[in-house]
Copies of this chain bind each other. A is one copy, B any other.
Amino acid sequence: MPRRKLPPQTPWTNTPDDVEAAFYDTLTSGNVEALMSLWAEDEDICCIHPGGQRLDGHAAVRDSFAQLLAGGGLQINAEVQHRWHSMSSAVHSVVERMQVEVDGQTQWGFVLATNVFVHTPAGWRLVLHHASPGVPQTPLDIILPGDVLH
């Protein structure tokens, strides 16, 4: 009996944290293809950008990130503040700190995000990114521009 061929595993599929780190890395690099490879293929997926409506399915999610990253990658630092993990799903509550230009000046905007991951045959994948505008909740000297996810 032939062995069933398992989908290829990649380093970023090992844990939900790996997928999330790769998600923010791809936002920084502006690589839409790499970013979309982090989402589950066979599951419903959806994405809510800050102030936006809910986008359902791969095509709508891809289009939104292609538009968001058309000018290049984002300067973004993310810190996970809550984790709820089970064997096959994981939810993270994240504070994102994003560099934005306002009237020619560099400022930092805060976004609150909920990221949901499920364990698929191909490893852990993203199924939901829900982001909404936030306000600074952490002293600025704790979240520095050089900080990374972990």
Q: Which A residues form the contact surface with B (CB < 8 A)?
A: 43-44, 46, 48, 50-51, 53-54, 56, 81-82, 84, 86-89, 91, 93, 95, 112, 114, 116, 118, 127-128, 130-135, 137
Q: In whole angstroms, what is the CA distance A135 to B48 when docked?
A: 11
Residue from B51, B86, B127, B130 in contact with A88 in the complex, judged by beta carbons closer than 8 Å: B86
Asked whether A132 and B130 contact (CB < 8 A) given A46-B93, A53-B112, the answer is yes
Residue from B50, B112, B135 in contact with A130 in the complex, judged by beta carbons closer than 8 Å: B112
Q: Which residues of B contact A112 (CB under 8 A)?
A: 48, 53-54, 130
Residue from B50, B51, B54, B93 in contact with A128 in the complex, judged by beta carbons closer than 8 Å: B93
Check A134–B82 contact: CB distance below 8 A.
no
